[in-house]
Structures are given as C-alpha cells and as structure tokens.
Structure 1
C-alpha cells in the first residue's frame, strides 16, 4: 500500500473531521436538553436518555466495529459510519417526540462508534512511525476543540435558530466527510485467514459493557440502590469472565488476548483509564465550585474552565511531534506527573482562592493531559500488529469512555457519602448555607482524582523502566 504525503494529510483531515463531529455531538446536546424537554413535553429525567442512549450505544459497539474493520477492511466501514451518523443527525432534527429522538440518537451513535473505533487505526496505518505521534496529536487537538466549542456553539444555535439546528449542522459536514472517505482513503486491509466473526463473544462482551455502564450511569444519577448496582456489577463480571473463557478456546476471537501480553498496549490502556477517571471527576465538580463557592456567573465559570481544553488543543500536536523524536516514555510520565501536582493543587482551593491561580492550574491541567495523551495513544497503537489496529483503536476508545463514566460515578459517590448532599440537587436549591460542607466533599473528590493520576504515573513509569534502552 503506497500513500503519498499529500494523501496522508488529506486522510488525517478527514479522520479529524469525523473525530470532531463525534466529540462535538457528545458535548453540544447537553446545553439544549432543558428546551428540548419543554418542547417535547417530557421530564428532565426522561430527556436524559437522549444523552445516555448515545453513550451506551457507542461504548457497546466500539470493539465490534474495530474487529469488523480488521476482517473486512476499514474504508467502507468508516464511510458507513459517516453515512449513518449523517442520517441519524437529520432524523434527530426532524424528531417531534422523545421516542423518535432517542432512536435517532442511537442511530447517530452507531455511526459515531464506527468513526471513533477506526480513526486511530487509520492514522496509525497511513503514517510512518516517525510521524505517527504528531498525527495522533492533531486528532487529539480536534477532540479538545470539539469539547470546547460544543456547549457555546450549542447555546448560540439553540438561541438563534432552535434546538433542531444542533443536529442539522452535522448533515453537510457528514456529506463532505463521506465523499472524502471514498475519494482519498485507500483500502487499508490485510485479509485474515479466518474471516469468521465471533458472534458469541460479541454478545457476552456487549452484555458485560452494557450492564457495567448502565449500573454506573444509574448509580451516578441515584436511580438504583447500592445492592442493585452490585448485582449489575456481578452480572457484568460474570459475562466478562465467560467472554474471556470463550476467547481462549476459539480460533477467531473478538479480542486476541495476546494483545494484553504486550506491555505498551495493556499498561497504556490502564494509564489512560486512570487518567480519564481523574480528569472527568475534576471537570464534573469544577463548575459547582466556581459558581457556588466563588459565586461566579455561568459565563465566567465557563471561561475559566475553557483554559483546560484550549491549552490541551495547543499542546497536543507538539507533544505528539516530540514523542516521534524522543519516544513516548518520558512524556507520558511527565504529563501525568504534572497533572498529579495540579490536581493536588486544585484540592487546596477554598472560598478565597485567586481566579488567576485557578486559570493557571486549569491551563496546566490541559497541558499535562496532552503531554501524556498524544504519546500514549501513539505507543498503544504502535505496539500492536497491523491486522489488529481496528480492535486496538476500539479498545483505546472504550477505555477512555469507561474512565470518564467511572470517574464521574465514583466522584459523585465520594461526594455524597462524605457530605450527605446530592450533587444532582445542588443547582436546584443552591448551597449558600453549606459552603464549608461542599468544600469538604469537593476537596476529597480532587484528592481522589490526584491519587488516580498518581497510580497512572506508576503504571507509565513501569513502562519507562521496563522498556528503556540499556
């Protein structure tokens, strides 16, 4: 397979468009939920399924699309992702009742999961090792930009045009992406000897992921009791154990378990998971701290938090480029170490903390994330055989989602158990009379985030020690 330099960068642009769309759509919808619930005449609790269904569908299908792309090729599946995402977006825009909107969001997520699962594998396949980190760093920038502009763009569109516009905006972008996919992406495929698909393994793995994510999401929203959550967790673990037993016995497993024997792959996934646990817990509680403790208005709080994705977007390509020159090892440890120090610093904030201090810490947090993430993605994807890049990309995205959901759920639990307060009710009643109690819970959550990041440092450091040149 010969790919010219121009073609490589056009492919990267196309992949970045897909990454931006999928990330944007995960963040742009939240701002519109209240107005959607009013116009469709449904409760806030019911409208949350617009978000939940999207996340669940993506998480269940990431590995499936990755495996299918390893068997049948990446080009057509990636184009299929664009097409289905575009159709789903159009249906979301014309939905006039909740059931159709949720169905359309599921359809959107089917397409988004295909694009997410394949994007890193496509970039890894077409870029040589000396340019891989830089290319993956650029895709990291698009993720940060999508997260940054989603809420503000969503607010503008909802205010000026209507909530339907946040979905219709995807349609022309999706059409362009589909055309580019067919025009410039070659067939990136080494046909395996066994083209069979592991249906039983897929069912068991999907059941395990679905039960786990449902349990975590429902627990976070206080919709299930702790005993019921434990039951869901045990069922998920049982399905996962049966899945691993099956995978050891068949010739065409959904996941080749030998991948986990690759140190850079397994420890890279573990480090990423813990890093996203820490970041998601932090980003969940920072708006509450800024608005209810420092008494900032939503716009000012949003501007302070935006220093995190802005810095991440700027640093990501430079970090990836540097990893091509000096390898990923020192960068992953450095980025995580920076974040650990920053998170401990955020844990010391109180009602008299300086805005400049918070801005500096949020900027450093974004920089640390990118210093770690771009090289880590490069190491994870570069460590696996070419015929398993689809599965590796799907696993990488799945661990990211699992880290984010786990981080928000665990932080809510820590906060609730230590303060006897429900974070889901804070915005309704305010916490003017219990600022000290909130600060206690907030600080414990940030210490939890910092410790998660510290464990991630330890995992990355083992990769540094084990694989450093002698």
Structure 2
C-alpha cells in the first residue's frame, strides 16, 4: 500500500510543531519571569537554548541518520521533543526550563534533518516539488502563528504552550512508526568535535549579541581560534558539497533570504505591542495575513518548480515579492496587513523551489547532507536576525533595553525608528540573494551552451 501522503502528513506535522515552538515562547516570557522570579538573562536563554541546539544538532544528524536509519532517528527526535515539552511544562525552576528547552531543540533538529529525506524517498522526482511545497507550508505557518496560538494559551497558563505538544507528539510518533518505511543502516563516523565546538562557540556569541553584553562576546572571541581549527580539520559542511556550484549559490541565497523571513514576525510583533499597545493576540491576528498567503502559495511554488524549466526565476520573483513590501512597511509603517499578504506569497515562491533545488542538486545518497547544510545556514540566518534587533533599537531609538526587557516591560516604548531601520537592513540583506540567484542562472545557461556544443558538463562529486 502506498503511504506517501500519510508520510507527508506526519513529516509536515513535525515541522509545524517545531516551528511553532521556536516562536510561541516569546509571549510566555513575562509569565515565566513572574512564575520563577527570574531575571531577563535567564529568560533570554529560554529562547537561545532552543534555536542553538536545533542548529547544532544538524551537524551530527547526517551521520547518525546513516547509522541508525531515517525512521528510527525520526522517532527518536519526536520522542525527545515530546518528552522535553512535558518536562518543561512541569518544571519547578527556570534552570530546568532552559535545560529541557535545549533538549527540545535537539529533538526539533533531528526532525528537521530527517523530514525532507523521508519525503524525497516517498515521492517520485516529478512529484517532489509539490510535496516539499506542501511540507514547507508547515514551517512558514508554524513560525508565524506561534504568537497567535501562544496569546490564547498564555491567557490560560504559560505551561499549556508546551503541554499541547504532548498528545500531538504521541499520535504522530505512532503514525510515523506504522507508515514510514525502514531503511538500511550504514556504518559511518560521527562529527562529535565539530558539534561540540560549534555549540561552545555559538552559545556565548548569540547570548552576548542578544543581551548587548560584551563579556559573552569576548568569551566567544577567545574560543574562535579553537573553533576554526576544529572546523578546518572536521568541517560542519562537507567541502565536497560546495564543489557543486549550483548548490553553493542556492544555499547562499537561502541564507540571505532567511533574514527577512523571520525579522518581519519578530519586529512587527514587538512594534504592535510596545509602540501601539496592542495585546499579543491582537498583534498576532494582524500578522496572520503572512501565513495565510503562505498556505495558498506554497503548493503553487512547488508545482511551478515541477513544470517550469527555470526555477531560479520563480525564486527571484519570490525574493522581490517578499522584500519590497517589507521595505514599504519599514519606511511608512502603514498598510501592514495588505503588504504582509504580498510578502507571504513571495516567501513561499522563494522557499518551495529553493528547498527542492538544493536537494535535487546532488545524487540521492548526498541529499541528507545537502538538506542539513541548507538548514544549518538558514537557522544561523534566523538566529542572527533575532540577535541584532536590540542593537538597532538601542542605536536608532535611543532606548537602552535588552531584548527580553522589551517584551517583559508593561510600559509602552517608542521603538518605531529602531524597528524601521531593522526591517530596512534585513530586507536589503535578503534582496542581495538576487545576486546569487542571477549567478545560478548564468551557470545554468553556461551548462546548456556546453551541452549544445557537445562538450558536456562537469559533474560535481562529493569527495570523501
């Protein structure tokens, strides 16, 4: 019996859960602080712990997946995510919350590294663009509806934002175990050194930037030479992947595009609540036009990839449709729901083709590595977008507050200048992805010319 759509449903659900959990916690920070009598430094770590562990886990995930198989690794990730959600909900201290958020992020990283390869194994080549387009809805929607859902759940109790994961996770684990096929394990080496060095370097760096704390940044700077040495010996991203020029160009474009993708949600949620005095629910409902557009356009973007001979053109249109409206929002701070609707369409037109192009750029045995490399760089872009916002608020709005203080404070704070500058910056960073998309187009034309002249094309292989 063909279970491919059941498999797609399970993987999409896991992506949705992980994406929601990455943003839903912002609305719970004030209640967490009151519940545990905790300072802002600890509350910020609740956010950072999840995002960093999710990203770092993508490094060894490639080898672990080969060693134990996609299905087994996927179920382990779901188990960690579900169990840690329960443990966060019953935690009695902020330290417990931070620790189990880190574990939850590991589970999310495992699921993120496994779902695309599972989908690719379940669908034929002509169907993959549509399948990944449907799956990509989950990330867009989950990241953006997190604040809306969180607003309602926090009104009851902040612990419910984690408890809701438990029954859904158990049901999804059971379904995944029943319908996802087994694959044969392969013995391979796991990059322990790369994983640990990346975590040790990233944690103080991200926390330092977020809190505008020079001491954390200096710790990260001191660690950097060791991190660099280990990465030269045991790189996070296999150098062989980068020898595929098309893969490198699309991955770099995706990294740059990730800046605006997350910054819209983050900055506007803050603007509505701090400047305009909206409740978290009201702010989330306005921003909801973004995921609505994503729901409609993600399958369309995937289908266009399957049928259109130049998918990079779809990506370019998507980047323009996402970034230009955000620039207008940044400059005028008007017509926000309407502009977000356009930006949502653009984002999906970019991400659906790019995800499929990255995985299709290599032979089947290298797709897990290609997918994880893209996820690592995308997450680093998202984490960076989170971290730099306080710097813009401090410089352009003249307000000396940390990221968490803005959310926890009950006062209305005028941060519109900082928000505008931040959105202009992230939009321009993401627009620069057009450079790499154009380079991809020129590379494709060059390959076609070589074929027409009978010279063939160079085949890029991963060198072990």
**Which TM-score tier does this pair reach, normalised by the shorter chain?**
0.7 to 0.9
Q: What's the counterpart of residue 321 of structure 1?
A: 303
Which residue, out of 332, 338, 341, partners 1:349? 332
Which residue, out of 259, 284, 300, partners 1:277? 259
Distance 2:12 2:150 in 1: 20
* CA apart distance, 1:300: 3.9
Which residue, out of 18, 26, 29, partners 1:22? 18
TM-score, L = length of structure 1: 0.86
* CA apart distance, 1:241: 4.5
Cα 1:77–1:275 shift into 2, 3 Å: same
Instruction: Number of aligned residue pairs: give it.
Output: 443
Q: Does 1:240 align with 2:236?
A: no
Q: Does 1:136 align with 2:132?
A: yes
Report Cα offsets for 1:330-374 as digits up to 9, x if no partner. 111111122232233223215xx3xxx222211111111100001
CA RMSD across the alignment: 2.6
Cα 1:314–1:62 shift into 2, 3 Å: same
Distance 1:376 1:118 in 2: 17
Report Cα offsets for 1:110-167 as digits up to 9, x if no partner. 221111111112112222221111111111111223224322322323333x333222
TM-score, L = length of structure 2: 0.87
Q: What's the counterpart of residue 336 of structure 1?
A: 319
Which residue, out of 38, 42, 49, partners 2:38? 42
Q: Does 1:412 align with 2:387?
A: no
Distance 2:326 2:90 in 1: 43
Report Cα offsets for 1:290-331 as digits up to 9, x if no partner. 455566555443322221122122211111111111152111
Contact 2:197 2:230 in 1 (8 A): no
Q: What's the counterpart of residue 461 of structure 2?
A: none
Which residue, out of 220, 233, 252, partners 2:210? 220
Which residue, out of 407, 410, 421, partners 1:444? 421
Deviates more, 1:75-84 or 1:90-99: 90-99
Contact 1:29 1:154 in 2 (8 A): yes
Contact 1:279 1:407 in 2 (8 A): no
* CA apart distance, 1:386: 1.9
Q: What's the counterpart of residue 176 of structure 1?
A: 171
Report Cα offsets for 1:383-413 as digits up to 9, x if no partner. 1232232222222221121111112333432
* CA apart distance, 1:420: 3.2
Q: What's the counterpart of residue 251 of structure 1?
A: none
Contact 2:249 2:437 in 1 (8 A): yes
What aligned pairs does 1:119-158 form with structure 2 within 5 A after superposition? 119-158=115-154
Cα 1:87–1:246 shift into 2, 3 Å: closer
Cα 1:456–1:189 shift into 2, 3 Å: farther
Q: Which runs of 5+ in 2 are unaligned?
A: 450-464
Report Cα offsets for 1:27-79 as digits up to 9, x if no partner. 22222222222223323432332222222211211121122113432111111
Distance 1:288 1:155 in 2: 13
Q: What's the counterpart of residue 28 of structure 2?
A: 32
* CA apart distance, 1:207: 1.4
Distance 2:101 2:269 in 1: 27
Contact 1:73 1:188 in 2 (8 A): yes
Which residue, out of 189, 198, 203, partners 1:208? 198
Distance 1:217 1:382 in 2: 36
Contact 1:307 1:362 in 2 (8 A): yes
Which residue, out of 457, 463, 470, partners 2:434? 457
Which residue, out of 161, 164, 183, partners 1:166? 161
Distance 1:65 1:22 in 2: 16
Deviates more, 1:290-299 or 1:57-66: 290-299
* CA apart distance, 1:440: 4.1
Contact 1:82 1:112 in 2 (8 A): yes
